Structure 1
């Protein structure tokens, strides 16, 4: 059985991410969407909320599960007995950012990373841009799975009252 891991912060999950999960499932028997806490980022949504939103978004995909992690990806890959890491890339900047991580993960775990070119129709969709559009009152419903836009808007509203 082939196990693929799709790690990311997913703050928030987008339609581009879902595209990568579906395509990973096409080449692996099981896909684990791994929601990571990135200490270098200040997330809008809690890890728990991100896990819930992704679970709802992939509910129709057999063989896909979602879990959180806070440790080193290489350790989680060993624990899961993962065969590969699948990462979506939209262009050169994504590749430049992801390549060193892929090489380090291979060094530490022996697990290869496969880069999946993003759907060109979604190449403009990034979690950071989705949050920025939402912060300015713009529409994001067509960029994210159902329920995510409401969660983003609620988190932004809650943040304004803190």
Structure 2
């Protein structure tokens, strides 16, 4: 079985994340969407909330599952028996960071490939951070996030 890890903070999960996930699921037998539990990032949603939102939106994808990890991604990938890590790219600005991370991961675990995938057009200028900022001001972000995430954001940010 060819297993891939799709890591991220997913704070919150967006339609862009789901697009990358669905495409990864076509390439691999199993894709584990792995929430990085890094309190230093000061996430907006708790790890439990992020996992619940993720589970709700991944449930209908047969070869996708979810997990939470702490520590180094390559260690988690090895524990899961993964052959690859997949990361989404929105713009050229993402490339430099992802390139550096993939080189370090290759140094630490040369048997695990990193695959960089461009997001679908229409999602390339959005990020979880931007979506939260816009939602805070009461703007409609429903085009960029699944309905459950939109509801969670509206609950946190009642219209002004």
Fold conserved between structures, TM > 0.5: yes
- Measured after TM superposition, the shift of residue 39 of structure 1 is 4.3
Q: Which runs of 5+ in 1 are unaligned?
A: 158-162
Runs of 4+ in 1 over 4 A off after TM superposition: none
The reply on whether 1:6 has 2:24 as its aligned counterpart is no
Residues 105-155 of structure 1, C-alpha deviation per residue, up to 9 Å, x if partnerless?
A: 111122111001111121122101100101111111221012101212334
- Measured after TM superposition, the shift of residue 103 of structure 1 is 1.2
In 1, Cα distance between the equivalents of 2:131 and 2:99? 24
In 2, Cα distance between the equivalents of 1:156 and 1:99? 35
- Alpha-carbon distance change, 96 to 40 in structure 1, aligned in 2, over 3 angstroms: farther
Backbone CA RMSD of aligned residues: 1.3
Q: State the partner residue of 2:137.
A: 136
Q: Which runs of 5+ in 2 are unaligned?
A: none
Q: How high is the TM-score relative to the length of structure 2?
A: 0.93
Give yes or no for contact 1:3–1:82 (8 Å, CA) kept in 2. Answer: yes
Give yes or no for contact 1:44–1:152 (8 Å, CA) kept in 2. Answer: no
- Measured after TM superposition, the shift of residue 102 of structure 1 is 1.1
Q: How high is the TM-score relative to the length of structure 1?
A: 0.92
Count of aligned residue pairs for this structure pair? 157
Q: State the partner residue of 1:125.
A: 126
In 2, Cα distance between the equivalents of 1:16 and 1:115? 14
SS of 2:116's partner is strand
